[in-house]
Amino acid sequence: MTQSASEPVAFKKDTVLVIFGASGDLAKKETFPALFGLYSEGALDPSTKIICYARSNITVQKIREMCLPYCRKSTTGNDEAKMKEFFKMVSYVQGAYDTDDGYIRLRDEIESFEAERGVTEPHRVFYLAVPPSIFLTVAGQVKKNVYAENGITRVIVEKPFGDDLESSREMQKGFKPLFRPEEIFKIDHFLGKDDVRRLLTVRFANPFLNQSWNKDNIESVQVWFKEPFGAEGRGGFFDSTGIIRDVMQNHLLQILTLATMEEPVANNADAIRDAKVDLLKCMEPLGPENIVALGQYGRSVDGTKPSYLDDDTVLNKKSKCLTFTELTFAIHNDRWEGVPIVMRAGKGLDEDRVEIRIKYKKNTSGMFKGCTPNEFVIHFHPKPTIYMTFNTKAPGFDDKLHQINLDMTYAQEYKKDWVPEAYECLIKDAFLGNSANYVRDDELDVSWALFTPLLKYVEGPNAPEPEIYPYGSTGPKGILE
């Protein structure tokens, strides 16, 4: 049996899914709730076998209790009975990540399931929900002990994929001898969000819209990530990551790429990712000249919220870690030359919002000269909304202009339908073999090549001082709106 990214094989029955790190935070908050969501909506075949793997001495019952608060209600009800049925598909193998014995027990578990079902060409998915420091250890053991030699293996890997160009390449080098590119599924969970996936449909299935997205009509493209909370309790992780690595090099760049790339030559994973890489190659590596603002949150004005450095989990009390960054840069191609691309992200701000805004130019002539320009907006979070602002006449006897929203939000149109969550989409995609919404290595390479010089500058010996802004504010002074 063969597969490629362009002609994938869908896993339908008797698939084995192994979750490494099943005792962890991601598994409880995202992986299991997504699997249960798929199952309860009929999108995960009941013949699937789910095997948890971790070092902890826990049980399936414990995993069930851990993930329960994070599972959402199904659209069809009867969730308790469904949960019971779902967990009958789940078993647990306890073992270390770096020695053979646990993997040998895992192989026995997998093979006895496949023998019982009469499977001759196994379908196996291995989900690495473990810290990046052991990605390659687990990957090596999967290849050695549980790889489906006469079937198909897929390996799902969580971010981060390195922390700069060099470490990302190092990780790629480690995976290369183990798995073929079409066997690896690297997650950026923003690519699982339905409204991110909708971007290509909205652009390219409505040619008039796509044709107007260019330097002649567009004033700027703006991507915003705002979080109303700080690094609370996660300072250890955040201090070595910073806002640029946490959301800009990956999630925001992905959104931006889908909004600005050319139309793929075909609707398949390779063509879509080729178009993304082509677009990324039209940007120049980022450096000091692209910085508009760098910030770190201080105490809230009323003193109730601590500053970043006050956080007990931030150990370096002189840290210059950025909790806010605003960048502006260019895309050097025929479509976008000269259009400012603005990317901003911050924690400890005044609101919770992730959005992209395509701002049209002002009308410079004619009877409605200077009227409010159009905008195409997608809010990805917290409430997915997608609309275009549109000028019309207000009701009445005069010609007073009024701006309304042409709203394409799902909730307007599909009130009762099930809209899959990001992880539900991504896990389903891995079963279908659709890697269009997973990150390919050459995409990673170009994105790290763009951001690594900037990271070197803001983290280097001459790193600039971040501006301190109050927790709960709009961020550093004078940021562009």
Part in contact with ligand NDP (CB under 6 A); list of ranges 130-138, 195-203, 277-285, 372-380: 130-138
3-state secondary structure the chain: CCCCCCCCCCCCCCCEEEEECCCCHHHHHHHHHHHHHHHHCCCCCCCCEEEEEECCCCCHHHHHHHHHHHCCCCCCCCHHHHHHHHHHCEEEEECCCCCHHHHHHHHHHHHHHHHHCCCCCCEEEEEECCCHHHHHHHHHHHHHHHCCCCCEEEEEECCCCCCCHHHHHHHHHHHCCCCCHHHEEECCHHHHCHHHHHHHHHHHCCHHHHHHCCCCCEEEEEEEEECCCCCCCCHHHHHCCHHHHHHHHHHHHHHHHHHHCCCCCCCCHHHHHHHHHHHHCCCCCCCHHHEEEEEEEECCCCCCCCCCCCCCCCCCCCCCCCCEEEEEECCCCCCCCCCCEEEEEECCECCCEEEEEEEECCCCCCCCCCCCCCEEEEEEECCCEEEEEEEEECCCCCCCEEEEEEECCHHHHCCCCCCCCHHHHHHHHHHHCCCCCCCCHHHHHHHHHHHHHHHHHHHCCCCCCCEEEECCECCCCCCCC
The widest CA-to-CA distance across the chain, in whole angstroms, is: 82
| Least distance (Å) between residue 271 CB and ligand NDP | 27
Nearer to ligand NDP, 97 or 147 (CB): 97
Part in contact with ligand NDP (CB under 6 A); list of ranges 25-33, 200-208, 286-294, 419-427: 25-33
Binding to ligand NDP by residue 25, rule CB under 6 A? yes
The 63-102 contact track toward ligand NDP, x by CB under 6 A, reads: ----------------------------------x-----
Residue 273 makes CB contacts below 8 A (sequence gap 6+) with 435, 436, 440, 442, 443
* Residue that is written with structure tokens 């809230």 in the block: 300
Nearer to ligand NDP, 315 or 406 (CB): 315
Are the beta carbons of 307 and 321 closer than 8 angstroms?
no
- Pick one of 13, 55, 332, 393: the residue that binds ligand NDP (CB under 6 A): 55
The 153-172 contact track toward ligand NDP, x by CB under 6 A, reads: -----xxx------------
- Pick one of 105, 132, 405, 441: the residue that binds ligand NDP (CB under 6 A): 132
| Least distance (Å) between residue 326 CB and ligand NDP | 24
Nearer to ligand NDP, 13 or 55 (CB): 55
Residues 96-115 touching ligand NDP, rule: CB under 6 A, are: 97
Q: Count the Cβ atoms, other than its own, within 10 Å of residue 415.
A: 7
Nearer to ligand NDP, 226 or 245 (CB): 245
- Pick one of 14, 17, 18, 23: the residue that binds ligand NDP (CB under 6 A): 23
The amino acid at 226 = K
| Least distance (Å) between residue 430 CB and ligand NDP | 15
Nearer to ligand NDP, 70 or 113 (CB): 70
- Pick one of 3, 4, 9, 24: the residue that binds ligand NDP (CB under 6 A): 24
| Least distance (Å) between residue 258 CB and ligand NDP | 20
Nearer to ligand NDP, 21 or 235 (CB): 21
Binding to ligand NDP by residue 354, rule CB under 6 A? no
- The HSE-up count of residue 265 (CA atoms within 13 Å, CB side) is 5
- Using CB under 6 A as the binding criterion, the count of chain residues that bind ligand NDP stands at 20
Binding to ligand NDP by residue 426, rule CB under 6 A? no
| Least distance (Å) between residue 241 CB and ligand NDP | 10
| Least distance (Å) between residue 179 CB and ligand NDP | 17
Q: Count the Cβ atoms, other than its own, within 10 Å of residue 289.
A: 10
- Pick one of 18, 19, 26, 156: the residue that binds ligand NDP (CB under 6 A): 26
Q: Which of 123, 251, 332, 402 is catalytic?
A: 251
| Least distance (Å) between residue 23 CB and ligand NDP | 4
Binding to ligand NDP by residue 142, rule CB under 6 A? no
- Pick one of 42, 46, 77, 131: the residue that binds ligand NDP (CB under 6 A): 131
Binding to ligand NDP by residue 130, rule CB under 6 A? yes
Measured from each CB, the residue nearest to ligand NDP is 24
| Least distance (Å) between residue 191 CB and ligand NDP | 13
- Pick one of 134, 292, 377, 463: the residue that binds ligand NDP (CB under 6 A): 134
Residues 372-391 touching ligand NDP, rule: CB under 6 A, are: none
Is residue 251 flagged as an active site residue?
yes
Distance CA 89, CA 430 (A): 19
Residue 387 gets the label, from left (phi > 0), alpha (psi -120 to 50) or beta, of: beta
Binding to ligand NDP by residue 143, rule CB under 6 A? no
Binding to ligand NDP by residue 56, rule CB under 6 A? yes
Active-site amino acid positions: 251
Chain positions contacting ligand NDP, by CB under 6 A: 21, 23-27, 29, 54-56, 97, 129-134, 158-160
